[in-house]
Structure 1
């Protein structure tokens, strides 16, 4: 299945900041160290993830074509419209009226949208009606299924 997106909405400029404790030290995958159990500071996820709130919106990814890039079905993507897309960026693009999420690449001297799955051929950006909606800056990926 090709990865398409559902637009969820723009960042809420009036939402209160919700600082979250940032634990100092590192999180190791081995044996836990109780010495690292202290709060270093507070972290505001809005400031960290959304530097341009008036031009930022969120979309939900649908499909499996971007899994090699770490984008899975139902992930929440943060998209910034103020950024100029660069080769290598993951973008949300309207191609012939359908929104899709792909990596912007150059093959030869032409721009293409490429998936993270070899079963999906690159989409040439010449000869089609395309418009970039923005650059994906972050991915919120849940590791636990919601019930």
Structure 2
């Protein structure tokens, strides 16, 4: 999966609070909802822990689909976090940006795709530079929205 750099968080931008319903929405059997708003929620404040170290990229390709990352998704990336096994990274491998999960095969580090049609990428003896850890994924559920 390739990525397209979109930019950093604008720390000077005014918050954009959106309404947050008082009750959680059930994903199972529908129940009546309350007709009031409990509070307002600023999505940047909710999704971005380190604004000065956070940037956005757009995912391209299908190699991370079983991880829930689809072509065109907006990824929120924090470059201040130390990568750990299991993290999804934005990483330059031999000069090309990619999005993969950090893992191990045996005792060796690999970048693991979320699609069986792609091979793991060994990290030994390759030039690589971690751009950051993907902390959130934003994707549309309605076709053609937000891409």
TM-score of the superposed pair, with normalisation by structure 2: 0.94
Q: Give 5+ residue unaligned stretches, structure 2.
A: none
Tell me, what secondary structure is at the counterpart of 2:91? strand
Partner of 1:131: 129
Deviations 1:30-81 (A, max 9, x none): 33404x2221111111111111111100000000010100000000000000
Partner of 2:115: 117
Per the TM alignment, residue 106 of structure 1 is displaced from its structure 2 partner at its CA by: 1.1
How far apart are the structure 2 equivalents of 1:37 and 1:132? Answer: 46
Alignment of 1:38-117 (within 5 A): 38-117=36-115
Tell me, what secondary structure is at the counterpart of 1:48? helix
Per the TM alignment, residue 135 of structure 1 is displaced from its structure 2 partner at its CA by: 0.1
Structure 1 consecutive aligned stretches of length 4 or more whose deviation exceeds 2 Å:
28-32
The structure 2 residue matched to 1:8, chosen from 6, 15, 31, is: 6
TM-score of the superposed pair, with normalisation by structure 1: 0.94
Residue correspondences, number? 144
Tell me, what secondary structure is at the counterpart of 2:44? helix
How far apart are the structure 2 equivalents of 1:140 and 1:146? Answer: 11
How far apart are the structure 2 equivalents of 1:43 and 1:21? Answer: 6
Per the TM alignment, residue 89 of structure 1 is displaced from its structure 2 partner at its CA by: 0.3
Per the TM alignment, residue 146 of structure 1 is displaced from its structure 2 partner at its CA by: 2.9
